[in-house]
Every structure is written in structure tokens, then in C-alpha cells.
Amino acid sequence: MDSFFAHIGDTVESEQRSSFMGKVVSFSEIGSITSPIIAGVFVNYISLTAAFHFNLALVSLAILIQLYMGYNLTRRTKKSRLPN
């Protein structure tokens, strides 16, 4: 999670940073409220393993996003260090 906040600090302007962080926290809270409901629907109507497969897909997506963000941050840092 530290790399996420570091990426925000590097890419979002300081005037907009608090608003952006508020939106991130809001979406996180919405997710923590709705995820048990979604899991309950999966378990009730599909199967017990459907909730685990859905979570596995979400974790895989989160890992891919982190890798992509880290790659872009590294690439941007290397470009800014090049002499003009």
C-alpha cells in the first residue's frame, strides 16, 4: 500500500491530493460494505467456491495494477533523470 500512496504523491498535484485521497478512502469503504453482500449472493445462489474464485480474480487484478503502476513510476523517474 505504501507504493500506492507514493504513486499518488508523485502524480497528483498537491492542491488536488486531499480530494483524491478522500475519494480513494470513500471507494474503499464502499467496497468493504458491498463485498460481504456480493459474497453472500455468490454463496447463496451459485456455490461456496464462487466467492473464492471471484476474490482470486480481484486479487490478481490488483497485483497487475500494482505492477503496471510500478513500471510507469520507474519509467517516469528514469525519463526525468535524463539530461536535457
pTM of the model: 0.52
Structural domain count of the chain? 1
Residue 31 burial by Cβ neighbours in a 10 Å radius (0-12, 13-18, 19+): exposed
- Mean pLDDT of the region 46-71: 87
Q: Which residue range(s) make up the domain with 41?
A: 2-81
Dump pLDDT digits (tens) for 15-44.
Answer: 888 888 888 889 989 989 998 898 888 889
Positive or negative CA dihedral for 36, 38, 42, 44? positive
Percent of the chain exceeding pLDDT 70 equals 82
Which amino acid is residue 36, in one-letter code? P
Measured between alpha carbons, how far is 12 from 73 in angstroms, rounded to an integer?
A: 13
